[in-house]
């Protein structure tokens, strides 16, 4: 196992190095790291990224199998998670998405310029240095006021350095990532279900590298469920509303929350598997409505994966969710290859996204029909 952990450590370090190949030429804080190696060699970046994704799923399969077969102790599993978090905190966060820069720029509108970020766009401060490497600067704040409040914590560290504020932002998201794993364990008392979420390559990439705030929202969602399971109705409702105030999409789970409250008030037993299944269906439905606004983003799948882990005994849901996690990460390949979001790139993204899960569903149906 020591040799395996050594290879896994080498893979994580390779992922760190790979991420710095995407340092923006305008990102003045890491100009000495700029090489342009992957932004100027699109074919190479797409190939290496694809290999990284494939290898990450190999590690995922290996660790899941080892946890399931009790070949990895709880102590060793915690060590693996700690190594993963500790190393990937130091990745360049804008390898695949610039959202972390958008978070910091929006917070600057409020905390530095004292303007309302819901009516004032960052681009209106034309001399701000952040605009050189921020994307979506022509939009007002997209997230809830609690998230804007949370981003004030990293902003405090700007007085030390901007890089320290980025690190604090990544730490906040990483803590929420770990918190989700803890709450999954509290519900299931099963380490496999925890590994199913925490070691999922999509979750690792979109939280520990890209630092999307979806894990913050989902921690609060699961926290509200947990509090309601302990009959703490008031606190459960407060925590759920906090999730909505981070990212509005969790409001779709309000019927589930009201149902849980009703069950507790009337002192009825709660069938938690059914609750998790309904929650999974609702979040999946809202996930697939994303193209109405813009497009399906891979990190949106984090809305669904915690419920998949809570339903880890369902083979079909678990396997389909894993395959869809893979296909969503492959969705980045056309953009990396072409360097464009237009032309034939959107069509390729759709193919990468849906062909693998569709093939799995067909295979599953055929196997159920012909294999007894």
For 343-369, what is each residue's pLDDT tens digit? 889 999 999 999 999 999 999 988 887
6-10, 126-130, 288-292: lowest mean pLDDT where? 126-130
286-294: list long-range contacts, CB under 8 Å, 24+ apart. 286/249, 286/252
Kindly tell me if the per-residue pLDDT of 328 is higher than 60.
Answer: yes
Burial of 90 (0-12, 13-18, 19+ CB in 10 A): middle
DSSP result, 185-204: HHHH--HHHHHHHHT-HHHI
Alpha-carbon distance of 272 to 225, in angstroms, equals: 10
Q: pTM to 2 decimals?
A: 0.95
Residue 342 is predicted with a pLDDT of: 86
Q: Mention every residue, 6+ apart, whose C-beta is less than 8 A from residue 94.
A: 22, 23, 24, 27, 100, 101, 133, 210
Kindly tell me if the per-residue pLDDT of 59 is higher than 90.
Answer: yes
Kindly tell me if the per-residue pLDDT of 290 is higher than 90.
Answer: no
Alpha-carbon distance of 72 to 74, in angstroms, equals: 7
- Per-residue pLDDT band for 29 (boundaries 50, 70, 90) equals confident
- Per-residue pLDDT band for 372 (boundaries 50, 70, 90) equals low
- Per-residue pLDDT band for 36 (boundaries 50, 70, 90) equals confident
Kindly tell me if the per-residue pLDDT of 19 is higher than 90.
Answer: yes
- Per-residue pLDDT band for 276 (boundaries 50, 70, 90) equals very high
Residue 197 is predicted with a pLDDT of: 98
For 235-246, what is each residue's pLDDT tens digit? 999 999 999 999
Alpha-carbon distance of 36 to 216, in angstroms, equals: 32
The alpha carbon dihedral of 102, 107, 112, 118 has a sign of positive
Phi first, then psi: what are they for 151, rounded to 5°?
-70, -10
């Amino acid at each position: 196992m020591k040799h395996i952990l050594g290879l896994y450590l080498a893979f994580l370090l390779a992922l760190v190095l790979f991420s710095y190949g995407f340092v923006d030429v305008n990102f003045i804080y890491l100009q000495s790291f700029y090489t342009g190696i992957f932004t100027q060699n699109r074919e190479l970046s797409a190939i290496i990224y694809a290999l990284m994704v494939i290898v990450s799923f190999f590690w995922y399969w290996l660790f899941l199998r080892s946890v399931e077969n009790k070949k990895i102790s709880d102590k060793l599993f915690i060590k693996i998670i700690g190594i993963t978090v500790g190393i990937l905190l130091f990745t360049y966060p804008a390898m695949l998405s610039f959202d972390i820069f958008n978070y910091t720029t929006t917070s600057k509108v409020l905390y530095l310029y004292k303007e309302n970020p819901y009516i004032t766009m960052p681009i209106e401060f034309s001399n701000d240095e952040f605009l050189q490497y921020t994307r979506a600067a022509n939009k007002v704040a997209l997230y809830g006021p609690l998230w804007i409040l949370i981003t004030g914590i990293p902003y405090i560290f700007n007085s030390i350095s901007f890089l320290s504020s980025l690190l604090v932002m990544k730490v906040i998201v990483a803590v929420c990532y770990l918190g989700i794993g803890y709450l999954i364990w509290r519900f299931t008392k099963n380490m496999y279900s925890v590994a199913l979420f925490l070691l999922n390559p999509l979750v690792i990439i979109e939280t520990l590298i890209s630092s999307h705030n979806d894990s913050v929202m989902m921690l609060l969602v699961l926290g509200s469920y947990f509090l309601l399971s302990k009959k703490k109705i008031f606190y459960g409702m407060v925590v759920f509303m906090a999730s909505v105030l981070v990212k509005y999409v969790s409001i779709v789970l309000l019927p589930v929350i009201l149902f849980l409250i009703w069950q507790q008030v009337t002192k009825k037993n709660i069938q938690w598997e059914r609750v998790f299944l309904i929650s999974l269906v609702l979040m999946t439905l809202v996930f697939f409505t994303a193209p109405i606004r813009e497009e399906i983003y891979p990190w949106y799948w984090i809305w669904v994966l915690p419920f998949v882990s809570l339903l880890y005994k369902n083979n079909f849901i678990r396997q389909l969710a894993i395959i869809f996690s893979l296909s969503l990460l492959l969705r980045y390949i056309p953009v990396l290859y072409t360097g464009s979001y237009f032309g034939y790139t959107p069509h390729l993204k759709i193919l990468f996204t849906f062909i693998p899960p569709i093939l799995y569903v067909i295979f599953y149906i055929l196997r159920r029909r012909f294999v007894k």
